């Protein structure tokens, strides 16, 4: 981080990337997530969707909720991975178990639409409510919409 920001040493994105990758290779989950970001964007390394996904998977398998969320988005949108609502739901669920707000909203949306999971307004409300309790405005809007459609919110 110090090299990336130039604190005490010359600022160098390439040098910082080298150290992030070394830490990622040693199994550090947050560094694996950052390595995924680097390869996804092509910042200081040659852009590679394959390497980005590999690093995100390693971080997600170690329980890093942000990496789990990103994989959910990739599967949902078919970006860098083959589109799969079922896989998206699986990764969002893992991230929601750790309270990831955007994953809560996305999982609620999958239940509302019946994509990758059985359609269930009850489950949609459950996930939207949990996100709303964290203060996520989008979840509040979704809850209001469901209420307006005549669904019973318990």
Query: Residues 91, 57: one domain?
Result: no
pLDDT at site 147: 56
How far is Cα of residue 71 from the mean position of the Cα atoms in its chain? 6
- Report if residue 73 sits inside a domain: no
**What would the two tokens of residue 153 be?**
């919110």
Match 């019973």 to its residue by tokens.
152
**What would the two tokens of residue 136 be?**
């996520």
- Report if residue 1 sits inside a domain: yes
Residues with pLDDT less than 50, the chain: 1-9, 150-154
Query: Residues 8, 57: one domain?
Result: yes
Domain holding 147, by residue range, is 85-154
Task: Note the pTM of the prediction, 2 decimals.
Answer: 0.84
Q: 109, 142 in Cβ contact below 8 A? A: yes
């Amino acid at each position: 981080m110090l090299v990336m920001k130039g604190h005490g040493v010359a600022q160098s994105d390439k040098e910082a990337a080298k150290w992030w990758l070394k830490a990622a290779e040693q199994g550090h989950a947050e560094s694996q997530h950052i390595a995924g970001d680097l390869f996804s964007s092509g910042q200081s390394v040659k852009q590679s969707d394959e390497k980005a996904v590999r690093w995100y998977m390693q971080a997600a398998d170690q329980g890093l909720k942000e990496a789990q969320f990103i994989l959910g988005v990739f599967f949902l949108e078919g970006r860098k991975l083959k589109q799969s609502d079922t896989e998206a739901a699986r990764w969002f669920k893992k991230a929601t178990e750790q309270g990831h707000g955007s994953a809560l909203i996305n999982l609620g949306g999958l239940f509302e639409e019946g994509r990758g999971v059985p359609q269930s307004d009850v489950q949609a409300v459950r996930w939207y409510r949990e996100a709303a309790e964290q203060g996520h405005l989008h979840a509040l809007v979704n809850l209001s919409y469901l209420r307006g459609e005549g669904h019973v919110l318990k």
